[in-house]
Homo-oligomer: A and B are copies of this chain.
Amino acid sequence: MDFTISDKMQTVIEMMDEFVDKELIPLEAEFLSDSAENFQEKIEEKQQKVKQMELWAPSHPKELGGMGLDLTEYALVSEALGRSPLGHYVFGCQAPDAGNVEILHEYGTQEQKEKYLKPLVEGRIRSCFAMTEVDQPGSNPILLDTTAEKKGDKYVINGRKWYTTAADGSDFTIVMAVTNPEASQYLQASMIIVPTGTPGYSLVRNIPVMGHKGEGYFSHGEVLFQNCEVPRENLLGPEGQGFVLAQDRLGPGRIHHCMRWIGVCKRALDLMCDYARKRYINPPDKNLASKQMVQQWIAESSAEIQAARLMVLHAAWRMEQEGSKAARKDISQIKFMVANAMQNVVDRALQVHGGLGMTDDTVLAFFYRHERAARIYDGADEVHKISAAKQILKEYEGKKVK
């Protein structure tokens, strides 16, 4: 057992940490203010710097212009970048583009790679992923209402999706739709690429989430497919294999998210400790950091972060060693453990800040409201608990326990 981080990764992380501190955190105030106009420009400016530093697209293959990091390496990167809400965008590894890159890279045809993958990795276009159904449980990929009927050399798509993150401004979406309704449950759906200019496709609205409609990257769309026709060569991967691909996509995606949340936790702990040291209370020679209740939160937060972090790194390592399937229990366990640790840590940090914590003068209120979604997307806590329990219980079949 060896917990050492390689020299290479230590260097990468230090560079990223510094960039986040010096270039991104100062941008946050503007990001958090209502006037997000022209903000896209500033992000692009920072993206240029990142490209020059050769830290662009850390999770993407080298041949596509990324850094080609493996899963455990990228986990450390996701942690570093997660400290700011802007990190992943500026380093070219934001969801859902990062996941789309992975699928296109592994399953795309030569033409699809040329047309969609290349400009996506270069950051010239943006994309989204239309999976979650409005009227169906988000966590259950086998309850799909959206259909893609084969008609001649086309697919005719009908359905309504939401939580299509970053649909606003995307050049294409990958939609999950039923192409083979007669097939067995898990083999009915396919992934299909739909350029957003296609007739019959429309962005109905940016869903107001926690009081914000958002725009561009920072939005969640409700999208409508009404007799939307695309050529059959837009099929991504084999027909009927949509869920297989989605699983492939979700496995590493959960590692990415979990480590991003660890980054959120670390930032929150930093702000909590720093403010606790600076804030003097009555009697005026005592700061918050001298108070046991605050000390308790700091210790508990630090310990929970450490626990969560080691679990994610171990799950990533196991995925690499034994594959996604062997690590299913681990992935479910990190999903709910890390999401809850994050909620606890952010909540405590906000509380230490008092009234200030409720304002957008720090990033904590943003984390508080938007990262609440962590316990819901990619499978709610409850779904993962049941899934993990079933796998654990299976281990006891035929086992003699005393």
8 A Cβ contacts from A387-402 to B: 388-390, 392-393, 395-396, 399, 401-402
**Cβ–Cβ contact B386 & A313, under 8 A:** no
Candidates B282, B295, B334; contact of A390 at CB < 8 Å = B295
Specify which chain B residues have a CB less than 8 angstroms from the CB of A291 in the assembled complex: 292, 382
Q: Does A40 contact B (CB under 8 A)?
A: no
Complex-state Cα separation, A3 to B162, whole angstroms = 40
| Total A residues in contact with B, Cβ cutoff 8 Å | 101
The count of identical subunits is 4
Candidates B209, B361, B395; contact of A359 at CB < 8 Å = B209
Specify which chain B residues have a CB less than 8 angstroms from the CB of A300 in the assembled complex: 385
Candidates B25, B289, B306, B376; contact of A357 at CB < 8 Å = B376
Counting chain B CB atoms within 10 Å of each CB, the highest count among A1, A3, A34, A270 belongs to: A1
Complex-state Cα separation, A277 to B132, whole angstroms = 21
Complex-state Cα separation, A281 to B132, whole angstroms = 14
Complex-state Cα separation, A26 to B311, whole angstroms = 34
Q: Does A365 contact B (CB under 8 A)?
A: yes
Task: Output the least CB separation between A222 and chain B (Å).
Answer: 10
**Cβ–Cβ contact A333 & B306, under 8 A:** yes
**Cβ–Cβ contact A317 & B3, under 8 A:** yes
Q: Does A63 contact B (CB under 8 A)?
A: no
**Cβ–Cβ contact A358 & B333, under 8 A:** no
Task: Output the least CB separation between A376 and chain B (Å).
Answer: 5
Q: Given known contacts A137-B279, A270-B396, what 16 new A-B pairs fall within 8 Å (CB)?
A: A1-B2, A26-B402, A137-B281, A143-B282, A162-B355, A208-B360, A273-B393, A273-B396, A298-B393, A299-B384, A303-B334, A307-B307, A307-B308, A350-B372, A357-B376, A358-B376
A interface, CB within 8 angstroms of B: 1-5, 21, 25-26, 32-34, 72, 132, 137-140, 142-143, 162-163, 207-213, 270-271, 273-274, 276-277, 279, 281-282, 284, 289, 291-296, 298-300, 302-304, 306-308, 310-311, 313-314, 317-318, 329-330, 332-334, 336-337, 350-351, 354-355, 357-361, 365-366, 368-369, 372-373, 375-377, 380-382, 384-386, 388-390, 392-393, 395-396, 399, 401-402
A-B contact pairs, 7 of them (CB 8 A): A140-B281, A211-B365, A299-B386, A300-B385, A302-B389, A351-B376, A358-B372
